[in-house]
Structure 1
Amino acid sequence: MAMVYFVSSSERKLEDMVHAWQDGPTPLRLLLLDVPEVLSSDLDTVVREKAIAAYRVALVPLFVEHGGLFIEHLNGFPGPLVKPFWERLQDRICSLIPPGLSRAARVVQKVCYCDGRTLRVYTGTVPGEIACERRGECGADWEPMFVPAGHTRTLGQMPRDERLRCSASAEALRAFRCDIGL
């Protein structure tokens, strides 16, 4: 396979992806681009449209990533609309769930590869729960409020290596790399 690029407008995501890719046989190329994201409750639609938009700008084989936070108490909301949801509510997300009710949530991340002819989507899912309060300063946005199943700390309390080992993005990336032989 030819050189592949990862496109994101987030420097933190670029750094995380480089870290997750570090054992690959070829270096990961990065493109810091702000590509439009469609607002949709369908995560597949969001990531596919994002990949197509990025390809139209870059015209190189690339992949993008987009995720969603699906909170059981909120009937799966905000899902892929987590960015505008986070921008409005921030740390108050924790208090949306009344005491005694299920705090179950899951993070779903999708990686979409596009080379102008092929469009493939890969999925990673991590179950967990919403913490009662924000904990930790690592990670981005809502990550200090999400505790992956089997852990006691939020993603925001974990160092990068640990956070990436239990990340839905890393799972989707592994599926992508396995499929393309990298």
Structure 2
Amino acid sequence: MSGEGREPQAIRKLAPGRLVIASHNKGKVREIAALLEGRGLDVVSAGELDLPEPEETGTTFVMNAELKARAAADLSGLPALADDSGLCVDALGGDPGIFSARWGGETKDFCMAMTLVERALAATGPAPARTAHFVCALALAWPDGHVEWFEGRVDGTLVDPPRGDKGHGYDPMFVPDGHDRTFAEMDDATKNEISHRADAFRQLVAAVF
């Protein structure tokens, strides 16, 4: 997909070589690296390169992914892949959405963030709808300014209390449709077949490899 307000660009292929994953989140970096395995890429994270994290000032997942990818590509001189993802709860009008990480505070405490989601749901009434979806926007940027965008989604239901010790973020409270385990109860291989990130990556792989 193309970013807001931009003309669609021709898909550019990604050549084998070094690629920066524009994230300091070790769990996210591990997932992305696994999804890229076997593509001839030498993956390094923004954290390993000691690159600063840009302020996420965008109003959509795609815009924030592009901000991060462009910053990492500019500073490293290498192609950079950024992910912006979040949990959108129907009963909360799509919150926490693009502010998903910020609900965890400065330390990105997702135990606290999940508690805040439950409190917000409780405030909507005695039996709130617990449907939700995860969104993942990917932006692949080159040092010359070219960017490609892709967006994936997975629908599911929230559970309380959270379950599982795998995954990261809101994974312990999210059960994807058609399954009875939370993302945090699934091994990486299972989650990587059905997640919002896997959906976005299928699009990216089909387009740029």
CA distance in 2, matches of 1:22, 1:48: 23
CA distance in 2, matches of 1:157, 1:18: 20
| Counterpart AA for 1:90 | A
Instruction: String of CA shifts for 1:29-63, please: whole Å, max 9, x gaps.
Output: 22233421314442122111111111121111121
| Runs of at least 5 residues in structure 1 that lack an aligned partner in the other structure | none
1:17 equivalent in structure 2: 32
Superposed, 1:137-148 pairs within 5 Å as: 137-148=165-176
CA contact (8 A) 1:108 1:126 kept: yes
Instruction: String of CA shifts for 1:113-136, please: whole Å, max 9, x gaps.
Output: 111231111011001121122111
CA contact (8 A) 1:40 1:81 kept: no
2:193 equivalent in structure 1: 165
TM-score (norm 1): 0.90
CA contact (8 A) 2:91 2:128 kept: yes
How many angstroms does 1:173 deviate by? 1.5
Equivalenced residue count is 180
CA contact (8 A) 2:176 2:182 kept: yes
How many angstroms does 1:141 deviate by? 2.2
Match of 2:92 among 74, 97, 117: 74
2:40 corresponds to 1:7: no
CA contact (8 A) 1:106 1:127 kept: yes
2:155 equivalent in structure 1: 127
How many angstroms does 1:102 deviate by? 0.8
2:124 corresponds to 1:96: no
CA distance in 2, matches of 1:4, 1:63: 11
Of the two, which has the highest radius of gyration? 2
CA distance in 1, matches of 2:66, 2:178: 31
| Runs of at least 5 residues in structure 2 that lack an aligned partner in the other structure | 1-13
1:37 equivalent in structure 2: 55
Which secondary structure does the structure 2 equivalent of 1:137 belong to? coil
| Counterpart AA for 1:7 | A
Instruction: String of CA shifts for 1:60-86, please: whole Å, max 9, x gaps.
Output: 112111102110011001111100113
2:41 corresponds to 1:27: yes
